[in-house]
């Protein structure tokens, strides 16, 4: 019979950096905080976040046989640096290489296949961000790290530069019960450094003010006139860049996270010249597809100042 220890050992062999296993019970406290956040309208135009709330809270809503949740973290840090330039736009570190959804899903698929080889009665469901699961909440519950004041998971070993995924299983296993305490202390560097004051209070982010939300999720034809992008074309890493826990970062072993050409500092003129065909070719297999061609070019126009921004939202 397969054990939690067996699964953890295999997960590390698959290349994950951290793994924890917990029971598939409801995230009641976390769900309450989610509902409070939604009630404030802090999700902006991300209407999908207010749908299927019960699925986010209770894993059995998306996978009825769920008994256990295997939670994994994968380091994605690479030692490259942004450059500030009027002709380029900075890209969030998570999108430099191949799409993490594909990378993490491939590893979890391999893990699930191995588990099924050991126990053919195993049923499972893979969750990597796009499924309605509360990734960070599960990672905290599984003892992988704690939730920082910028609302990102922080691990002692890799800081916040990690991707999270879950594997829901119909197996009863031994569970991790120890959680990592919050080590943010009195530090407010992430709050103080946010260019748009999007972190309204510790652990709470108003997406409407967030550069990442504006450059990735917002579908408006123009950015709000008051939005200061601070040189960011896609996403924003400021709150993570200033976090003291990220000084312990180590280069990722996963080669697919190495930056693609032009994905650290993207040339604004190149972005504005993209056609649907060249856009599809350049960003095939990249997380940057999330912003769509229209969104990337809107952001590039705002940074290049070739076209004045309107106050449309």
DSSP 108-142: HHHHHHHHHHH-TT--EEEE-SSSS--HHHHHHHT
In a domain, 10, yes or no: yes
- Residues 267, 159: one domain? no
In a domain, 28, yes or no: yes
The catalytic residues are 129
Q: Band of the pLDDT at 249, cuts 50, 70, 90? A: confident
pLDDT, mean of residues 247-261: 94
Q: How far is CA 26 from CA 23, 59, 119, 127, 177, in A?
A: 9, 7, 26, 16, 15
Radius of gyration of the chain (CA): 20
**Domain edge (last residue) among 123, 141, 169:** 169
Domain count along the chain: 2
Residue entry with tokens 């699964």: 7
- Residues 136, 37: one domain? yes
**Domain edge (last residue) among 169, 202, 221:** 169
- Residues 33, 164: one domain? yes
In this prediction, what percent of the chain has a pLDDT beyond 70?
A: 97
Residues with Cβ within 8 Å of residue 150, at least 6 apart in sequence? 160, 190, 191, 194, 199, 205, 239, 240, 243
pLDDT at 190: 98
CATH number of the domain residue 73 falls in: 3.40.109
Residue 84 has pLDDT above 50, yes or no: yes
Distance from the first to the final alpha carbon of the chain? 56
E strands, the chain, in order: 18-23, 68-75, 88-91, 124-127, 146-147, 153-154, 162-169, 199-201, 204-205, 232-234, 265-267
Residue entry with tokens 């990722």: 252
Q: Which two tokens stand for residue 201?
A: 């209070």
Q: Band of the pLDDT at 181, cuts 50, 70, 90? A: very high
In a domain, 182, yes or no: no
Q: Band of the pLDDT at 38, cuts 50, 70, 90? A: very high
- Residues 64, 164: one domain? yes
pTM summary value:
0.94
From CA 203, how far away is CA 64, in angstroms rounded?
Answer: 31
Residue 310 has pLDDT above 80, yes or no: no
In a domain, 310, yes or no: no
Q: Which two tokens stand for residue 176?
A: 């991790």
Residue entry with tokens 């059995």: 60
In a domain, 179, yes or no: no
Domain residues for the domain of 37 are: 4-80+97-169
pLDDT at 130: 86
pLDDT at 313: 29
pLDDT, mean of residues 182-201: 98
Residues with Cβ within 8 Å of residue 172, at least 6 apart in sequence? 67, 68
């Amino acid at each position: 019979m397969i054990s939690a220890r067996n699964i953890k050992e295999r997960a590390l062999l698959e290349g994950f950096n951290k793994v924890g296993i917990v029971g598939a019970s409801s995230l009641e406290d976390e769900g309450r905080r989610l509902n409070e956040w939604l009630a404030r309208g802090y999700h902006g135009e991300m209407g999908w976040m207010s749908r299927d709330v019960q699925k986010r809270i209770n894993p059995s809503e998306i996978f009825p046989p769920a008994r256990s949740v295997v939670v994994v973290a994968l380091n994605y840090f690479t030692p490259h640096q942004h450059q500030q330039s009027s002709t380029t736009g900075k890209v969030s570190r998570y999108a430099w290489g191949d799409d993490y959804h594909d990378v993490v899903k491939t590893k979890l698929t391999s893990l699930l296949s191995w588990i099924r080889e050991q126990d053919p009665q195993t049923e499972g469901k893979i969750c990597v961000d796009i499924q309605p699961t509360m990734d960070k909440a599960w990672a905290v519950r599984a003892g992988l790290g704690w939730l920082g004041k910028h609302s990102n998971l922080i691990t002692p070993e890799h800081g916040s530069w990690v991707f999270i995924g879950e594997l829901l299983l119909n197996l009863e296993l031994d569970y991790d019960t120890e959680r990592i305490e919050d080590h943010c202390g009195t530090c407010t560097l992430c709050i103080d450094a946010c260019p748009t004051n999007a972190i309204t209070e510790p652990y709470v982010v108003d997406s409407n003010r967030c550069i990442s939300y504006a450059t990735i999720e917002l579908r408006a034809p123009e950015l709000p006139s008051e939005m200061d992008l601070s040189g960011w074309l896609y996403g924003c890493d400021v709150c993570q860049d200033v976090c003291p826990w990220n000084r312990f970062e180590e280069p990722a072993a996963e080669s697919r996270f190495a930056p693609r050409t032009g994905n650290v500092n993207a040339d604004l003129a190149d972005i504005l010249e993209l056609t649907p065909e060249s856009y599809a070719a350049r960003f095939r297999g990249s997380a940057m597809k999330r912003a769509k061609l229209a969104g990337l070019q809107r952001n590039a126009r705002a940074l290049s100042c070739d076209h004045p921004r309107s106050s449309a939202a």
